[in-house]
């Protein structure tokens, strides 16, 4: 049996078509750009706005407040301080420790929508500079958390991962945007929980406050802070004006312990104590 012979022109057309298709495939693959390299710190793009689709971290807050300790920091030298909401929410007697065994009474204004609170006292301390309202956080940037973990002077350093949503269940139930950080270092003698660091500022490498430390996830090695906009809103809600947006002392992984000691010594960062609850 003889197979029919195809015309030469049809054979040539099939070959040319196959070559064109192969060429297009190679060109399409060659034109695809490689994925961009990972960026960190100042080279990274700023975080975008918060979104309900950001990952969530859930925190259960007991229905009744309990006496305890935390950290606060000065935002105006007239006696205006900031701390984490859960440190003082429900407290009827609040004090800032100004020396061993001595404290001054403080009054609290709670941010109804965020994990921040404003404290006022008679007399104050030099304020920490705040990052301006135009500040944009960048993934990979370092953050420094000086305060009183476990009720003792101490600090931690972290690297910014991105935005998440803090879902609070129980007292003060709400959802708010926060920043998630990976802990990369801490005071040598500090082991275990960072409890007591709540309310501490998170400082950028220029020494400016960009948020309030509010929670930790020890197993994941995560620290959570309020978003920069929460700090601005808390001050606006309380009708308190910050002292300014000047740069602070530059901070890095080599000197952050020394800088933290100086801030505590000058009472720009102080321990806050909830003495009694309702």
pLDDT for position 165: 92
Q: What is the pLDDT of residue 28?
A: 45
- Residue 2 is classified by DSSP as P
- Mean pLDDT for all residues in the chain: 84
pLDDT at 222: 94
207: alpha, beta or left, given left = phi > 0 and alpha = psi -120 to 50?
left
- What are the tokens at 272? 């806050």
pLDDT of residue 1: 45
The pair of three-digit structure tokens given for residue 230, joined into one six-digit string: 């929460």
Quote the pLDDT of residue 278. 77
pLDDT of 246 reads: 63
What is the residue-level pLDDT of the chain in tens, covering all 278 positions?
A: 454 555 555 545 555 455 444 444 444 444 555 555 555 556 678 888 888 888 888 888 777 778 889 999 999 999 999 999 999 998 999 999 988 888 999 999 988 888 999 999 998 899 999 988 788 889 999 999 999 999 999 999 999 999 999 998 888 788 999 999 999 999 988 999 999 999 999 999 999 999 999 999 988 899 999 998 888 888 877 666 666 666 778 999 999 999 999 999 999 999 999 998 87
Main-chain dihedrals φ then ψ at residue 270, nearest 5 degrees:
-135, 160
- Would you call 264 helix, strand, or coil by DSSP? helix
What's the pLDDT tens digit per position in 6-51?
555 554 555 545 544 444 444 444 455 555 555 555 667 888 888 8
With residue 123 as reference, give the H or E element that holds it.
none
H-helix or E-strand spanning residue 29: helix 8-31
d(CA 30, CA 221): 41
State the architecture of 63-277 in CATH terms. Beta Barrel (2.40)
Q: 0.85 exceeded by the pTM?
A: no
Positive or negative, the Cα torsion across 241, 209, 153, 265?
A: negative
Distances (CA, A) of 253 to 131, 140, 187, 206, 270: 20, 14, 11, 13, 22
């Amino acid at each position: 049996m003889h197979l029919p012979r195809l015309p030469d022109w049809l054979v040539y057309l099939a070959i040319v078509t196959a070559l064109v298709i192969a060429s297009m495939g190679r060109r399409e693959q060659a034109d695809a750009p490689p994925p961009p390299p990972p960026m960190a710190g100042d080279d990274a793009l700023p975080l975008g706005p918060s979104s309900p689709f950001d990952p969530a971290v859930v925190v259960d807050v007991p229905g009744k407040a309990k006496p305890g300790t935390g950290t606060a920091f000065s935002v105006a030298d007239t006696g205006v301080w900031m701390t984490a909401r859960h440190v003082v929410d429900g407290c009827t007697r609040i004090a800032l420790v100004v020396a061993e065994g001595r404290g001054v009474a403080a009054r609290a204004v709670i941010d109804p929508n965020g994990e921040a609170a404003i404290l006022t006292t008679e007399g104050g301390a030099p304020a920490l500079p705040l990052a301006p309202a135009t500040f944009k956080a960048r993934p990979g940037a370092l953050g420094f958390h000086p305060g009183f973990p476990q009720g003792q002077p101490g600090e931690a350093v972290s690297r910014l991962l991105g935005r998440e949503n803090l879902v609070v269940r129980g007292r003060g139930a709400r959802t708010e945007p926060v920043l998630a950080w990976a802990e990369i270092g801490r005071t040598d003698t500090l082991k275990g929980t960072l409890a007591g660091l709540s309310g501490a500022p998170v400082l950028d490498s220029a020494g400016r406050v960009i948020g309030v430390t509010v929670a930790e996830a020890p197993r994941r090695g995560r620290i959570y802070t309020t978003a920069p906009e929460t700090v601005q809103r808390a001050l606006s809600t309380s009708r308190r004006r910050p002292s300014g947006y000047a740069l602070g002392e530059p901070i890095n992984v080599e000197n952050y312990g020394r800088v933290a000691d100086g801030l505590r010594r000058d009472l720009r960062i102080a321990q806050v104590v909830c003495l009694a609850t309702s």
